[in-house]
Amino acid sequence: MLTYTNPIIPGFYPDPSVCRKGDDYYLVTSSFEFFPGVPIFHSRDMINWTQIGHVLDRKSQLDLENIPASKGIYAPAIRYNPHEDLFYMVTTNTTKIGNFFVTAKDPAGDWSDPILVPQAGIDPSLFFEDDGTCHFISNARDRSVYKSGFLMGPIDTKTGEFLSEPKPVWGGIGAASPEAPHIYKVNGMYYQICAEGGTELGHMVTIARSKNLYGPYEPCPHNPILTHSFRKGHLIQATGHADLLEDKHGNWWAVFLGYRQTEQYFHHLGRETFLSPVAWVGGWPVITQPVEINMEIPGREAICQHFQPMREWDFSKPCIEWVYLRNPDTSLYEFTPKGLLLTGNGYTLNDTANPAFYGLRQDFLNGEFEVDFELLSKDGKATVSIFYKDDAHIDVVLKQGRISFCKVVGDIKHTRKAKEIKTRSIKLRIVCTPLSYSFYIIIENKESLLGTALTRNVSTEAHKLGFTGVFLALHTTGQALFKKAKATNNDRRQQQ
């Protein structure tokens, strides 16, 4: 019996795509306005994933200057071409250069600068035919022109140019927002998968097949092969945007996004990466559903899923899980033996710019964050924030002589009366539950409650539709030393 716990990559890691080279599996996810872009993970068993870096870690690859929240990098796809022994990652910078791909021999190493593909739309993917020919497919967006919703054509992988005019292909079963197309070849048949219904409660995965790459495609009689739209009270919602993979043992899997709702219709962690086995029924792949937090699969090899309930960072060097908001001014960040010395640049968390920001995705519903920090400058502020976007964050703000508790929810900005303190150095403890945050300050070993907030204040549903999730963020407009941080994940304890 194989047992494992979903999500396999918790927190704001949406739009997963996966590929395999031999015994190694690699997975990428969307990153939107955060830098570096496109986190990449490695696994040997499809259950346990370790982040090995980011694909886009240079500004020459990823320009995020002044982009709005939830723009930037959408829906990457990763593929391995055995003809070249080369990995490809294709994606869209929605506010800058559009569709492009980069390549690497080693997914954990340096990736190339972008090669642009002259086709609009989002959610691109690549299919390598048996002879090594590369075919590019993306969402065509304008269904009044392209009734299928998708365009595909062969490209030159050196230039990104199309070798022939892209053609419309199968566009789903007619639901809203067709996206996330991928092509697979199995036993001589071509399968085209896509997501439909929008990345909300009606999200779904559909599939069709053909004897020819460019169709016509026959829709699967079991469509949708994945959806939780009929599971109103289920913890896991909005399942969709899948990618399929055959592992080294001949087993088939689907990775896909979903979110864990905290109360009906609300979620704040963002869309996460889930895993389900795939069964072939009458020549069609069908994803096991409903998808559960605790999965039990008979007849599969036993794999131990590793769980790290506590993580700590001393900020003596950059941390692979921590990211910047848009392109950072690296001169503001100094990683020292005493911690992260952060210098402000005038931008605040309310600005659509690149403030002095260092953030960690919240990847649990139940748990705690602890941060030790000190305001070094007489002017300015040091802030620890539960950050969703520029108009949705909950902040503890340290100024000289006082500490404040602030909430920004849309156009409402509320600051609780400041508390006078005699020190510039404090420890902050944030207790997280599915419905609330409680903020405690610890000064000279004395703990006191500073304030509480509802998680729904930083949820997607409380704001204009967004695609990201909540971060623990460090920020300053002056100069501050963030000495260390700790995260304690209690989700597994709650589930057992």
Residue 412: the pLDDT is: 93
Same-domain status, 233 and 103 = yes
Q: What does the alpha-carbon distance between residue 293 and residue 461 come to, in Å, rounded to a whole number?
A: 22
- Provide the pLDDT for residue 1: 81
Task: Work out the mean pLDDT of the chain and round it to a whole number.
Answer: 95
- What's the domain range around 416? 310-495
Regarding whether 318 and 213 lie in a shared domain, the answer is no
Q: Tell me the two tokens of residue 132.
A: 């090594």
Average pLDDT of the segment spanning 88-114:
97
In a domain, 238, yes or no: yes
Q: Which residues share a beta bridge with 17? A: 28
239, 197 Cβ separation under 8 angstroms: no
Q: Please tell me the distance from the alpha carbon of residue 274 to that of residue 16, in angstroms, as a whole number.
A: 9
- In the Cβ-directed half-sphere of 7, how many Cα atoms lie within 13 Å? 28
Residue 304 in domain: no
In sequence order, which residues have a C-beta less than 8 Å from that of residue 314 and are 6 or more positions away? 339, 483, 484
pLDDT tens per residue across span 283-305: 999 998 889 999 988 788 888 99
| Same domain? 233 vs 330 | no
Identify the three-state secondary structure at position 378: coil
Over residues 202-232, the pLDDT tens digits come to 999 999 999 999 999 999 999 999 999 999 9
pLDDT at 494 exceeding the cut of 70: no
User: How far is it, in rounded angstroms, from Cα 13 to Cα 3?
Assistant: 22
pLDDT at 142: 59
Q: Are residues 146 and 256 in the same domain?
A: yes
Tell me: do 319 and 257 sit in the same domain. Answer: no
Spatial separation of the C-alpha atoms in residues 332 and 248, rounded to whole Å: 45
Omega before residue 154 within 30° of 0, cis:
no
CATH of the domain at 122: 2.115.10.20
| pLDDT, mean of residues 265-291 | 95
pLDDT of residue 289: 83
Neighbours of 245 (CB within 10 A): 18
pLDDT digits (tens, 9 = 90+) for 133-172: 999 999 986 555 555 689 999 999 999 999 999 999 999 9
The two tokens of residue 350 are 């309310």
For residue 495, pLDDT over 60 is answered with no
Contacts for 296 with CB less than 8 Å, ≥ 6 apart: 1, 2, 3
Kindly state the average pLDDT of the residues 252-276: 97
**Of 191-200, 297-306, 379-388, which gets the smallest average pLDDT?**
297-306
SS (H, E, C) 208-256: EEECCCCCCCEECCCCCCEECCCCCCCCEEEEEEEEEEECCCCCEEEEE
Report, as residue numbers or ranges, the catalytic residues: 15, 179
Residue that wins the pLDDT comparison between 140 and 404:
404
In a domain, 402, yes or no: yes
Number of domains in the chain: 2
Determine, yes or no, domain membership for 470.
yes
User: What pLDDT score does 277 carry?
Assistant: 96
Dig out the tokens for 25 from the structure. Answer: 């599996």
Listed residue (20, 28, 6, 9) closest to 250, CA to CA: 20
Q: What is the number of other CB atoms lying within 10 angstroms of the CB of residue 192?
A: 26
**Last residue of one domain, picked from the residues 297, 328, 355:** 297
Tell me, yes or no, whether 78 and 17 share the same domain.
Answer: yes
Residue 388 included in any domain: yes
| pLDDT score of 470 | 98
Whether 141 and 41 map to the same domain: the answer is yes
d(CA 279, CA 252): 7
Considering the domain architecture, whether residues 143 and 284 belong to the same structural domain is answered as yes
The predicted-structure confidence for 417-468, as pLDDT tens digits, reads as follows 888 998 889 999 999 999 999 999 999 899 999 999 999 999 999 998 899 9
421 shares its domain with 288: no
Residue 45 exposure: Cα atoms within 13 Å on the Cβ side: 13
Of the residues 275, 297, 319, the one at which a domain ends: 297
Asked whether residue 302 is assigned to any structural domain, the reply reads no
CA distance 286 to 274: 15
> Phi first, then psi: what are they for 494, rounded to 5°?
-70, -30
Query: Residue 15 falls within a domain, yes or no?
Result: yes
Q: Tell me if 275 sits within 8 A of 469, measured CB to CB.
A: no
The residue assigned the tokens 């649990």 is 364
What's the pLDDT tens digit per position in 12-52?
A: 999 999 999 999 999 999 999 999 999 999 999 999 999 99
Domain co-membership, 204 together with 315: no
Residue 435, CB-side half-sphere exposure with 13 Å CA sphere:
2
274 and 419 fall within a common domain? no
pLDDT at 141: 62
User: Got the DSSP string for 15-51?
Assistant: S-EEEEETTEEEEE---BTEESEEEEEEESSSS--EE
Indicate if the pLDDT at residue 474 is higher than 60: yes
Measure the CA–CA gap between 469 and 434, rounded to whole angstroms: 14
Please give the residue that has the higher pLDDT: either 72 or 419: 72
Indicate whether 459 and 332 sit together in one domain: yes
Q: Give the CA distances from residue 50 to residues 216, 364, 476, 494, in Å, rounded to whole numbers and listed in that order.
A: 40, 17, 30, 23
Tell which residue, 469, 461, 327, 480, has the closest CA to residue 403.
Answer: 480
CA dist., res. 77 & res. 473, Å (int):
28
Q: In the 3-class helix/strand/coil scheme, how is 101-140 assigned residue by residue?
A: EEEECCCCCCCCCCEECCCCCCCCEEEECCCCCEEEEEEC
pLDDT tens, 336-377?
Answer: 999 999 999 989 999 999 999 999 999 999 999 999 999 999
pLDDT of residue 422: 87
* Structural domain ending residue among the three candidates 236, 269, 297: 297
Q: Residue 338: give its domain's CATH number.
A: 2.60.120.200
Q: What does the DSSP 8-state code read for residue 263?
A: B
Which two three-digit tokens encode residue 27?
């997975």
* Predicted model pTM: 0.97
pLDDT score at 417? 81
Q: Tell whether 164 is covered by a domain.
A: yes
Least confident of 73-87, 97-111, 301-315: 301-315
